[in-house]
């Protein structure tokens, strides 16, 4: 199944970008509002898809694109808030699993989308795997500092992916994707209304700020290139298959994040401070096996 391979590559790119973003929001740009504006502005690079189709939408498709773009911008904002205080692997897995459930429910209610037997089994395994890699009873009290931001991000991502799938049905992939990025950018401009946020932008663009350092600018650029490529591929898979399944498979991203954080945690423990007991690590490995089995069920028949 061609789109399954695309899904794997998309989450690999996004996982690497996610860890770079974790470093950025911790050490380079600690203000989520400013970085959200940066991300949304760079999203305008979607206009490179113009040769593959761009049409002026009527009111209803435009409203769906606006909902997809606006909810995505807000989701990113709350995701970066959660990333500042939460562990990278737990944040991405919680948001992915709950975002998938939200998308599944909304797609069922508003898009009349139904999954086949194997896809329902796959969905359940992917979600269960996502929950197991996040759940740690002894650390539940530590999660309170980021849990609500993560839950809000998950809900907003679910709304965004459901709306974007409906947008693709109306406008096609290229046009739908471009217009959703345009509305994401326009919505991000609202973060510039508060005077305090405008002050943060001036501060981060000042000559002595961390962002003005060449290596940090390279990190931001690298993150956005990887994230952009992965996000375009991911949205194309949504167009080909199902938004609910695509988000459920975000456990793939966690698997990549887990491996990378175990490596990076030795070199940058102040940022990727993830420590696992033998039992917790075994639980997470088992969860990844469930995700792998879920992907096998996905490959049996097309959605």
For 202, residues 6+ apart whose C-beta sits below 8 A from its C-beta are none
Question: For residue 143, what are the CA distances in angstroms to 87, 130, 139, 148, 208?
Answer: 9, 16, 7, 9, 34
What is the average per-residue pLDDT within 255-279?
69
pLDDT digits (tens, 9 = 90+) for 11-47: 889 888 888 887 777 776 667 787 788 888 888 888 8
Of 20 and 123, the one with more pLDDT: 20
Please state the rounded mean pLDDT for residues 238-256: 75
Q: What does DSSP assign to residue 249? A: T
107 and 245 Cβ atoms separated by less than 8 Å? no
Is the pLDDT at 56 greater than 50? The verdict is yes
* pLDDT over 80 at 155, yes or no: yes
Cβ 127 vs Cβ 115: under 8 Å: no
52-61, long-range: CB < 8 A, 24+ apart: 52/173, 52/174, 53/172, 53/173, 53/174, 53/175, 54/174, 54/175, 54/178, 55/171, 55/172, 55/175, 57/170, 57/171, 57/175, 57/179, 60/170, 61/167, 61/170, 61/171, 61/176, 61/179
Which 8-state DSSP code applies to residue 103? H
Q: What is the pTM of this model?
A: 0.77
Tokens of 195: 């005077």
Single out the residue of 103, 126, 71 nearest to residue 254, CA to CA. Answer: 126
Using the predicted structure, report yes or no on whether residue 286 has a pLDDT greater than 60.
Answer: yes
User: In the predicted model, is pLDDT for residue 73 greater than 70?
Assistant: yes
Q: What is the pLDDT of residues 89-108, one digit of tens each?
A: 677 777 877 777 788 788 88
Selected residue with higher pLDDT from 228 and 152 = 152
- Asked if the model's pLDDT at residue 69 lies above 90, the reply is yes
**pLDDT value, residue 144:** 60
In sign, the C-alpha dihedral spanning 121, 125, 131, 136 is: positive
Q: Are 294 and 244 in contact (CB under 8 A)?
A: no
| Residue 130 pLDDT | 66
Tell me, what DSSP letter sits at residue 26? I
Distance between CA atoms of residues 128 and 96, nearest Å: 12
- Res 141: pLDDT: 46
Task: Please provide the DSSP assignment of 182-241 as one string.
Answer: HHHHHHHGGGGSSHHHHHHHHHHTSTTSGGGSHHHHHHHHHHHHHHHHHHHHHHHHHHHS
Which helix (H) or strand (E) segment is 139 a member of? none
3-state secondary structure of 281: helix
Where does the pLDDT of residue 66 fall: very low under 50, low under 70, confident under 90, or very high at 90 and above? Answer: very high
């Amino acid at each position: 199944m061609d789109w399954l391979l695309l899904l794997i590559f998309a989450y690999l790119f996004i996982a690497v970008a996610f860890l770079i973003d974790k470093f950025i929001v911790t050490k380079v740009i600690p203000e989520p509002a400013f970085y959200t504006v940066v991300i949304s502005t760079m999203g305008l690079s979607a206009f490179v898809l113009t040769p593959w189709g761009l049409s002026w939408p009527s009111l209803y498709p435009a409203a769906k694109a606006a909902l997809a773009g606006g909810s995505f911008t807000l989701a990113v904002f709350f995701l970066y808030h959660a990333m500042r205080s939460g562990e990278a692997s737990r944040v991405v897995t919680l948001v992915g699993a709950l975002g998938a459930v939200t998308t599944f429910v909304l797609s069922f209610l508003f898009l009349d989308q139904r999954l086949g037997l194997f896809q329902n089994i796959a969905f359940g395994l992917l979600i269960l795997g996502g929950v197991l890699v996040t759940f740690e009873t002894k650390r539940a009290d530590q999660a309170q500092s980021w849990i609500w931001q993560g839950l809000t991000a998950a809900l907003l991502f679910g709304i965004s992916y459901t709306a974007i799938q409906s947008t693709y049905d109306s406008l096609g992939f290229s046009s739908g994707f471009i217009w959703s990025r345009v509305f994401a950018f326009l919505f991000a401009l609202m973060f510039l209304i508060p005077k305090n946020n405008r002050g943060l932008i001036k501060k981060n663009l000042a000559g002595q700020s961390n962002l003005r350092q060449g290596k940090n600018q390279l990190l931001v650029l690298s993150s956005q290139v990887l994230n952009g490529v992965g996000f375009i591929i991911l949205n194309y898979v949504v167009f080909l298959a199902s938004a609910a399944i695509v988000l459920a498979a975000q456990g793939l991203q966690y698997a990549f994040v887990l491996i990378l954080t175990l490596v990076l945690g030795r070199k940058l423990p102040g940022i990727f401070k993830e420590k696992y007991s033998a039992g917790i690590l075994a639980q997470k490995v088992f969860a990844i096996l469930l995700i792998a089995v879920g992907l096998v069920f996905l490959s049996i028949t097309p959605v």
